[in-house]
Amino acid sequence: MSDSLDLAFAALADPTRRAILTRLAEGEASVTELAQPFAMSQPAISKHLKVLERAGLVETAQQGRSRPRRLSPQGIDGARAFIEQMASYWPDRFDRLAAYLERSGEAEGNPNE
């Protein structure tokens, strides 16, 4: 899981790749279609797609001679699970910190009062 998580976060770290994922959320697209909004060549877009495919975030369909790309639904599951786990961890910690600071302020006498 660690390797796949590393690949997913590395892929998501690049703004071009995130833009590609956003576009693919609207539906399948060819490399030509994906390259249109960017000031880069189709081979450069293809390199970004390979990173996304290696991370399991994008898959290639085969439709005759066409090879449209689409989101891989399960590709983001590992990253989402990790983020959800961390998200549930932090509020509890902040609640504990707030309670500690409140108790600490009461014990020392609040200088703001």
Residue 8 CB partners (closer than 8 Å, separation 6+): 55, 56, 57, 75, 76, 78, 79
Average pLDDT, the chain: 88
Q: For residue 1, what pLDDT is reported?
A: 55
Domain 2-108, second-level architecture: Orthogonal Bundle (1.10)
pTM: 0.75
Mean pLDDT of all residues in 12-39: 95
pLDDT at 96 over 70: yes
Angle between helices 2-12 and 42-54 (to 10 degrees): 150
**3-state SS class at 71:** strand
Q: For residue 102, what pLDDT is reported?
A: 87
Q: For residue 112, what pLDDT is reported?
A: 56
CB 37 within 8 A of CB 19: yes
DSSP string over 19-51: HHHHHHTT--B-HHHHHTTSSS-HHHHHHHHHH
pLDDT at 60 over 90: yes
Higher pLDDT, 93 or 16: 16
Mean pLDDT of all residues in 12-18: 96
Confidence category of residue 22, pLDDT binned at 50, 70, 90: very high
